[in-house]
Amino acid sequence: MNEPDSIVLVEDDEATRRFLVDNLAADGFRVFAAAGSDEGLRAVEARAPSLLLLDLVLEEGTGLELLDRVRSADGLATRVDPQLPVIVLTGRAGESDRVRSFARGADDHVCKPTRSNPRTAE
């Protein structure tokens, strides 16, 4: 069902979205980007990605609402796989944000800005 190595990225900040798309594509991933939750859900339905990268603060709705929609999908009425791996990638670094992400079904919660491996960073 999933396209190999495909990612749907839902990020409202255009500069961050472009940066992530460019870098993920350079690493060989097929990336489909969306700015808001409704557009993101349509991309997940249409593309059947192998991963969803999801910001919490979006143009319309929230990332948690989109995460709820993915996790509550039945896989029959929509083309959304409720088992789709979801990584929350957000600037919201509070412990309560992490807890909410995991409680709603995120597979991981990564805070922006991300850092490279400290052993290889200059």
How many independent structural domains does the chain possess? 1
CB 81 within 8 A of CB 48: yes
Residue 120 in this model has a pLDDT that exceeds 50: no
The whole model's pTM is what? 0.86
Whole-angstrom Cα distance, residue 106 to residue 52? 10
Q: Which residue has the higher pLDDT, 60 or 108?
A: 108
Tell me what pLDDT residue 122 has.
42
Query: pLDDT tens across 71-110, in order?
Result: 999 877 778 999 999 999 988 888 999 999 999 999 999 9
What residue type is assigned to position 22 of the chain? D
Identify the pLDDT of residue 63. Answer: 93
pLDDT beyond 50 at 121: no
Angstrom distances, CA of residue 119 to CA of 31, 100, 115, 122 = 28, 31, 11, 8
117 lies in some domain? no
Q: Are 66 and 37 in contact (CB under 8 A)?
A: yes
Question: CA 68 to CA 82: how far, in whole Å?
Answer: 9
Range of the domain at 56: 6-111
Using an 8 Å Cβ cutoff, are 27 and 60 in contact? Answer: no
Instruction: Confirm if 105 and 83 have CB atoms less than 8 A apart.
Output: no
CA 31 to chain centre: 11
Question: For residue 120, is it within any domain?
Answer: no
Count of C-beta atoms within a 10 Å radius of residue 9: 24
| CATH code of the domain containing 24 | 3.40.50.2300
Range with the lowest mean pLDDT among 14-18, 100-104, 112-116, 117-121? 117-121
- The per-residue pLDDT for range 5-39, each reduced to its tens digit, is 899 999 999 999 999 999 999 999 999 999 999 99
Output the pLDDT for position 92. Answer: 81
